[in-house]
Structure formats: C-alpha cells, structure tokens
A and B are shown apart, each in its own frame.
Chain A
Amino acid sequence: MMIKRAILPLLLAAAIPYALHGQMSSSTRLVRAADEPHNWLTYSGGYSGQRHSTLRQVDATNVKNLEIKWIFQANSLQSFSATPLVVDGIMYVTQAPNDVVAIDAVTGKVFWLYHHSASPGRLCCRGQVNRGVAILDDTLFMATVDAYLIAIDAKNGRPIWKTKVGDASSAYGMTLAPLVIKDKVVVGVAGAEFGIRGYIAAYEAATGKEAWRFYTIPGPGEPGHETWKGDAWKHGGGSVWTTGTYDPELNLTYWGIGNPGPDFNNAQRPGDNLYSDSVVALDADTGKLKWHFQFTPNDPYDYDSTQVPVLVDANWNGTPRKLMYFANRNGFFYVLDRVTGEYLLGKAYTEVNWTSGLDPKGRPVLTPQPAGQTTYPGPLGATNWYSPSFSPSTNLFYLSAWENYGQVFDPGDPVEFREGQNFTGGRLSPPPGAPAMPGMQRGPVNTWHEGAAHGVVMAIDPKTGTKKWGYEMHDVTTSGVLTTATDLLFVGGREGYFHALDARTGALLWKVNVGGETAAGPMTYQVDGKQYVAVAAGHSLFTFALR
C-alpha cells in the first residue's frame, strides 16, 4: 500500500534489517549509512563526504522523465543553503536562518516547524543561512546564526536543550550542519570577517554539555602558536562553516578551516598563521589534533579551506591507502594520506598565478602579483562551500568551480580590531577591462556576462589531478554536486537550471529551469520504491521523481 508511511523510531527501523544481530544504536546506523541508501542521514549523505548515492532507479535512459513531485517554499528571503536529511520517509530541512521543518518526503506536506528567534544585534554571518541539521535517534541538532546549538525532538519539533556555543554579540555564529559522531555533536564557529578566534567543539548529544574544544588558532603554549606574532592570534579568524567528515576506523574527524583575519592584509599577521586555510584531523573522542596540512600559509586572498574533505579508500601507486581528496578554494586539487596527513598530490584545476607551483611537501611557492595586477583565483575562490562528489563507479572526483576568475587585491593599511567592526582590511577591484565582478549572489539579470568569470562543473581524475571533462556555464555557479551509481551527476547553478549530466562524459542529459540559484547540494532518497532527487534553488526546495 502506498498510502501510509509510518515512521518508526530510528532504533526500531535499524533493528529490522539487522534483527538477527541484535539492536543497533543509531550512531552505528550513521557509520553504516551506505547500507540504507533510501535514506540521507548526514549532510554529505555519509561520513566519507562523497555525496554519492547507490540508488539506481533513475538512470541515463529515463532521467528525461523526471518531473516535479512537490515544492517546499521557504518563508525566508535568505539563500536556501541546506541539504535535507531523509529518514524513513520523513525529510528534515532548515528554512533560513534557523527554522527546522519536518516534511513528508512523498507529498511535501509539513508535519511540524520549529522556529528559533535569533538574538537581535548578531553580526555573523555573511549570509544569514543554514546548511541543515544532524540526527541521532529521535533527536535533531541545529547550529544557529547566533551561535547556539539546539537539540530538537524529531517527532514533535520541540526543543530539548539549547547550548550557547559562542557569543553572538562578538560576531560568533554558525551556519553549518552539525556532524554527529557516536554520542557527540560536532560543530564549528564562523565570524572571521569580524575578528573571532575560531574553534571546533563537541557537545554531548544527550545533554548539550561541551565535551571538547579545539581552537583553530592555537593559543600560547599550544603547538602552532609560533606561526603567529604578538597578539595577532587573538583575532586570527579560522572560521569553520562547512561540515567535516569522519573515518570511524581511525576515529578521526576532518575539518576544513577558514581564512586568517584580517582577510587581505597578511603583513599585519606575519607567519604561517596555523591552522587557517588548513585541514585538521582530530581525535573524535577528545578533539586532540592528530595532524594538519596547510594549503595556503599566510593567506592574503581569503582562500578559506572550508570545503568538504572527501574520504576515499583507493590504491595509490599500487598500494591500498586511506586517502583524502580536497578541491581547495585556492585553485588546487589535493590528495593527502588521511592517516598521517602526508601530501601525495597537488594540481591546479583552474587558472592560478598566486603561486608558481607546490614544492614536494605541497607548500606553495609564492608569486605575489604586482600592484594593480590580477590574481587568480579571486577571493570567492576557484571553488567554495558547495559540496563536491566522488563516484566509486567512475572513480572520478567532481566539483563546481569558477574559471577565468581573478581580482585585483590591495592589502591596504593595517586594520585595527574593533569589536563588532568589519575586520577584513584591504580593497578589491575587478581585473583591468572587466567592468564588474560576480558577487556572492545573483539577481535576475546577468549584467556582467563573460567579462570576468564563468562556472564549470568538472570531473577530475584523482590519480593524476587532471581534468577529465568540464561542463561550462555562462554564469558562475554555487551548486553542490550529487552523483549516483547509475553514473548520473546532478547539479544546479546560478542561472536557475537544475541539470543531470552523464558523470562519465559530462554530456547534458536533462535540465529544468527552477527559477533560482542553487547554493546547496542536491541529494536523493527513496520512499515506497520510488527514488526522489531534491535540490534547493532560490527560496524553495524542489523534489523530482520519474513520471
């Protein structure tokens, strides 16, 4: 029967397929998310961050028959940046900035809505957005723009506890989807543009009590502090605003760290400025640093490394290894050994002139451009928060990127830290001859055309870092990428189209105009034997399935 989709508690549902093995806790269910591809249990669809689904109903032969099944219109004019979760027919998604909505994943009808009124006077963030919730058993977790972590009853939308993670009046805020690991909820704070000192912190899922905290800018006596001079570390930035990943075997959780503060005046903060623009591997139980790798030392370009670290087990030069693929905002695709942090490969995937290349340890050889000359990529990056994808079927890595994108950086005068004031320093201008630049968001009319940049969805062969194919768009793009086992690639863009591409060749198979830019990652799920694909665009969430 199609008429009823009752939702069992996570525990019960988990017990059905594994009844012979006894009852499983749902944190184990998160570890084994691949065993239930009909659900989407974490921000990236699984701890590895691959944003890949093994559902097979929609394929290259029938993708043209996708049609809209329902639309959820957010009561919000903020960018819709959330990836929904789906658990056994119920979708949980956030409406910006901080409402949680439980939706019937088949009809799009709402069960309940939880509203959080963010503190007035908060400063974070550049967009008052949210990237989604995390779930453990029957509890959802949301990180808010005013820096609270809130646990919410998944059945009735009632708050269970509310913990202050940071001080909103000092510009601490959160926009990321939390990551549940075992009995803890891991989040990170943003606000580097206002001179915060960033951290990643874990909270007990049952009580909201803080379990550990890792400062992304090390303080006196901590390793890495020597990469800062004087008091610069106190406002050193290092925001964390995109959800990390987790390797249960190593018990390490991986997080990309944002830019140092002030953003553009690096002379003001001499040194490498650890752990800004780095990826860190933390013990999930204690928050202790296992290793780090810095992509852009002493960064003057706002090259946040807040991309999703994608975890893949594969042969490297003939030996099976635990790898991390990382397409960075600085224009390079990296392969690291995620056990040790060892640098294995780094290759530019778009125009880069801030460095002439990477040394054998992956450290960039700096080539600062003369005053008035264009630096590639510009401050919004060759890529950004939008999720990449890895397909174990094609063995290719996919991302949305900006090509031919540069800007002229002027570090300006040193900027004095004042609480609540912008702490970016510097000035940006378009490249000579380009009248305008793409901004953070796009209006209904593209006024800058091909003058400065365009978007591309590309496939990279992670063995070599070479580009396999690219699907170019007229406008730039901010869409995450989803791949499926049937070698489909789903991606939105700024122009309002939602596309299905052939993941092997990049050929366009299907597209629909959903009328708004995508700033989130698509996801897929299955209920009652029907596969759905969902994507946020503009201020709405669109859900498709076969006719």
Chain B
Amino acid sequence: MQLRRFLILAGWLVAGAPASLMAQTYAQADIQYGARLYAEQCTLCHGATGDVVAGVDLRANRFKRSTTDNELRNVISNGVPGTAMVSFKFAPPELTAVIAYLRNMRDFDSKTTLIGDPARGRVVFEGKGECARCHRVNGKGPRVAPDLSDIGAIRTPDALRRVIVDPEAQLRPANRSVRAVTQDGKVITGRRLNEDTYTVQLIDEQERLVSLVKANLRDYGLIKGTSMPAYGDKLAPDELADLLAYLLSLKGL
C-alpha cells in the first residue's frame, strides 16, 4: 500500500530523525544558564566533560534513550527506572536551559558572561535599573507592572534578556497598557488583566481593580509603546548579566 509506506516514512521522519535534521538554535543566555545548572546538578555523575557514564557522551550528543529535545525533557524530568538516572525537579525554563547547554556543550565558551551574580543583580534591580519603581517582588513594590516574584520559574533567560534589552518589541500583549475614557470624560489607564468582546478588566495606575463595559466608554484602546525603558544601552553588559541572574533566582513561593 502506497499509503502505508508513506505513513511509515512520515513516522520515521517525526520519531526517528537524527537531531541534525531538527535544526534548532539555542540562545546563548539559555546555554549559559544551563551550564550553571549542569555544574550544580549533573557533574556528580556525568562529569564536567559529560562522558563519565558508560555509553553516554553528552558533549557528542550521544544518549542511550533520547534523540529529540522532548525525549531529553522526559528523561531528565522522570529519570530512568532501574538506573542511576534519577528524576530532576527543574522549572520549565531551567529544563530548557539544561537542554540548550547539552546541545552546545562541545562549543560552549565559559568566558562569556551573560548571566552574572544574583546578589549584585538585586542591587541593579533596586538601584540603577529602577526596576523596583514599577515591579513588585515578594510582596514589596508597586503592582502597576507585572509582579516578578516567580519570573525565574516561568521565563527562560533568553526571553528575559530580550525583553530587558528591547521591551517595545518583546512585551507580551497581556502586559500592554490600555486607556479608556468614560462618557463623562474620566480617563482610566491601566494594565489589562482580562478582556472580552464587551468588557475589560484591568488594574489601574492607583492599583485598583477596575471592570469596564466597553459600550459605556467614549474611547478605548491600547497605549502604543511601553513605559518600560530599553536597557540595552542603559546598563553595562555585566550589570545586565547580574540583573538577569537576579531575575532567574526569583522562583516564587
């Protein structure tokens, strides 16, 4: 059957294709974060060079059971029963980073410092970066901008780096501000929490939860741009690296 042969071929392409067929780029920040996590969590068994376990050479991307990134995720998250490979409780961004590192171990340049020191990063966050003027962390700070208490558990290093450097381009739609004008001319601006065809729910600049019925508004729309500065030019590379390290350390309760 032609169809059957086609299905087998298609199945091989999806499940059995070598990693090289699945061209994927890994962000430098993720790779470096992964290197840090690898050093903390993986070297005990796999060694710094990745070839200590017999039959496994992480640097050469030679694994016993995994080909795709998803398979690697499964092995790392669930372990391999009956072997020394235990399960690891990594947050999703950490898992992404570890895999990014595994895929790039051979060429990894440990001299690059995209991720610095979290303690120094906190100083940047609260000082020069003025991040704490809008963002809240662990119950301290305003609620106008998104709360960052668990940002390190939900965003990859690269995603964080990109939004810090160029927020205008990277800001998520949900974090964009809106401006509403009521029939009597009152202007309400705030960050959207929820929206549908007829209503919008937001937290306004006075940190009030506000629900608006669109039919009752004179004017309503997205505010172009963002009040978040682009930090690409405002912070030195090492400051940026420290800030990133601090944000990655915020894992929530």
Residues of chain A at the chain B interface (Cβ within 8 Å): 1-9, 89-90, 102, 104, 106-107, 109-112, 153, 155-156, 158-162
If A110-B201, A156-B203 touch, whether A7 touches B184 (CB-CB below 8 Å) is no
Q: B139's contact among A8, A9, A153, A162, by CB below 8 Å, is which?
A: A153
Residue B207 at the chain A interface, CB threshold 8 Å: yes
- Known A-B contacts A90-B209, A155-B209; the reply to A1 vs B182 at CB < 8 A is yes
A109 to B194, CA, bound (A): 8
B201 in complex: contacting residue of A104, A153, A155, A161, CB < 8 Å: A104
Binary interface encoding of chain B residues 144-155 relative to chain A, with 1 for a CB under 8 A from any of its CBs, else 0: 000101000000
**Chain A residue contacts of B143, Cβ below 8 A:** 153, 155-156
With both chains docked as a complex, state the minimum distance between the C-beta of B152 and any C-beta of chain A, in angstroms: 14
Q: With A104-B201, A155-B143, A159-B252 as known contacts, state yes or no: A6 contacts B216, CB within 8 Å.
A: no
- Known contacts A110-B194, A156-B147, A6 near B208 by CB under 8 Å: yes
CB neighbours of A7 from chain B (8 A): 208-210
Task: For the complex, give the distance between the alpha carbons of A521 and B206 in Å.
Answer: 34
Q: 8 Å CB contacts to A: which residues of B199-214?
A: 199, 201, 203-204, 206-213
Closest B residue, CB atoms, query A5 = B211
Would you call A111 and B208 a contact (CB within 8 A)? Answer: no
Is B183 in contact with chain A by the CB < 8 A criterion? yes
Given contacts A109-B201, A162-B253, contact A6 B139 (CB under 8 A): no
Q: Known contacts A111-B194, A156-B203, A158-B139; can you find 20 more A-B pairs with CB under 8 A?
A: A3-B183, A3-B213, A3-B216, A6-B208, A6-B210, A7-B208, A7-B210, A89-B211, A106-B211, A107-B213, A109-B196, A109-B201, A110-B193, A111-B201, A111-B203, A156-B147, A158-B149, A160-B139, A161-B253, A162-B253
Report how far A107 CA is from B211 CA in the complex, Å.
Answer: 8
Cβ of B48 under 8 Å from chain A: no
Contact pick for B207, options A1, A89, A90, A155, CB 8 Å: A155
User: Which chain B residue shows the least CB distance to A162?
Assistant: B253
Contact with A along B209-253 (1 / 0, CB 8 A): 111110011000000000000000000000000000000000011
What residues of chain B lie closer than 8 Å to A161, measured between beta carbons?
253
Complex Cα gap A92–B147 (Å): 20
CA distance A162 to B252 in the complex (A): 11
CA distance A89 to B193 in the complex (A): 16
B203 touching A104, Cβ below 8 Å: no
Residues in chain A near residue B186, CB distance under 8 A = 4
Least Cβ distance of A434 to chain B in Å?
50
Question: A109–B199 contact, CB under 8 A?
Answer: yes
Please, which residues of chain B bring their CB within 8 A of the CB of A160?
A: 139
A204→B210 CA distance, assembly (Å): 30
Q: A6 to B204, Cβ gap below 8 A?
A: yes
Q: Please name all residues of chain B whose beta carbon is closer than 8 Å to the beta carbon of A4 when the two chains form the complex.
A: 182, 186, 188, 210, 212
Complex Cα gap A1–B203 (Å): 19
Residues of chain A with a CB closer than 8 A to B194's CB: 109-111
A18 and B201 CA atoms in complex are apart in Å by: 29
The 6 tightest CB contacts between A and B, nearest first, are A104-B211, A3-B216, A6-B208, A159-B253, A7-B209, A156-B143
Of chain A, the residue at the smallest CB distance from B216 is: A3
Residues in A whose Cβ lies below 8 Å from that of B193: 110-112
Q: Which residues of A contact B196 (CB under 8 A)?
A: 109
A3 near B212: Cβ-Cβ < 8 Å: yes
Tell me the complex Cα distance, A104–B199, Å. 11
B36 in the interface (beta carbon within 8 A): no
Q: In whole angstroms, what is the CA distance A177 to B26 when docked?
A: 47
Contact B147 A158 (CB under 8 A): yes
Q: B209 to A102, Cβ gap below 8 A? A: yes
Sample 6 A-B pairs with CB under 8 A, ordered by A number: A1-B216, A4-B212, A155-B203, A156-B147, A156-B203, A160-B139
Which chain B positions have C-beta within 8 A of A104?
199, 201, 209, 211
Please give, as numbers and ranges, the residues of chain B lying within 8 Å of A159 by CB-CB distance: 149, 252-253
Check if B73 is an interface residue, CB within 8 A of chain A: no
Question: Among the interface residues B136, B201, B211, which one has the most CB atoms of the partner chain A within 10 A?
Answer: B211
Chain B contacts with A in 121-180, Cβ cutoff 8 A? 136, 139, 143, 147, 149
Within 8 Å by CB of B136, from A9, A107, A156, lies A156
**Cα distance, A111 to B36, chains bound together (Å):** 37
Q: Pick from A5, A9, A110, A156: contact of B210, CB below 8 A.
A: A5
A107-B211, A110-B194, A158-B147 known; A1-B201 Cβ under 8 A: no
Contact A8 B208 (CB under 8 A): yes
A182: shortest Cβ distance to chain B, in Å? 21
Distance from A13 Cβ to chain B, minimum over Cβ atoms (Å): 11
Chain A min CB distance to B227 (Å): 18
- With known contacts A109-B199, A156-B136, A3–B208 Cβ distance under 8 A: no
A285 to B217, CA, bound (A): 49
Task: Tell me if A3 and B217 are in contact (CB < 8 A).
Answer: yes
When distances are taken between beta carbons in the complex, the residues of chain B under 8 Å from A153 are 139, 143
Given contacts A102-B209, A155-B207, contact A1 B184 (CB under 8 A): yes
**Nearest-neighbor residue (CB-CB) of A105 within chain B:** B211
Given contacts A6-B204, A109-B196, A111-B193, whether A1 and B136 have CB atoms under 8 Å apart is no
- Among A102, A111, A153, A158, chain B packs the most CB atoms within 10 A around the CB of A158
A188 to B77, CA, bound (A): 36
CA distance A106 to B211 in the complex (A): 9
Name the residue among A8, A102, A155, A162 with the largest chain B CB count within 10 angstroms.
A155
| Chain B residues closer than 8 Å to A8, beta-carbon distance | 208
Q: CA separation between A8 and B207, bound complex, in Å?
A: 9
State the CA gap A153–B253 with chains docked (Å).
Answer: 13
Q: Which residue from chain B places its CB closest to the CB of A90 in the assembled complex? A: B209
Interchain CA distance A517-B100 in the complex, whole Å: 51
Q: In chain A, what residue has the closest Cβ to B214?
A: A3
CB <8 Å contact, A107 and B199: yes
A107 cross-chain contacts in B, Cβ below 8 A: 199, 211, 213
Q: Which of B182, B183, B207 gathers the greatest number of chain A CB atoms within 10 Å?
A: B207
Cα-based distance from A1 to B143 in the complex (angstroms): 26
Q: How far is the CB of A135 from chain B (nearest CB, A)?
A: 14
By a CB distance below 8 angstroms, the chain B residues around A102 are: 209
Residues of B within 8 A of A3 (CB): 182-183, 212-213, 216-217
- How far does the Cβ of A339 sit from chain B's closest Cβ, in whole Å? 40
Contacts A3-B182, A155-B143, A156-B136 given; does A109 touch B211 at CB 8 Å = yes
B37 to chain A, nearest CB (A): 22
Highest count of chain A CB atoms <10 Å: which of B196, B203, B253: B253
Please measure, in the bound complex, the distance between the C-alpha atom of A458 and the C-alpha atom of B206, giving whole angstroms. Answer: 48
Q: Report A-chain residues with C-beta under 8 Å of the C-beta of B184.
A: 1
Most A CB contacts (10 A, CB to CB) among B136, B183, B203, B210 go to: B210
The winner among A3, A156, A162 for most chain B CB atoms within 10 A is A3
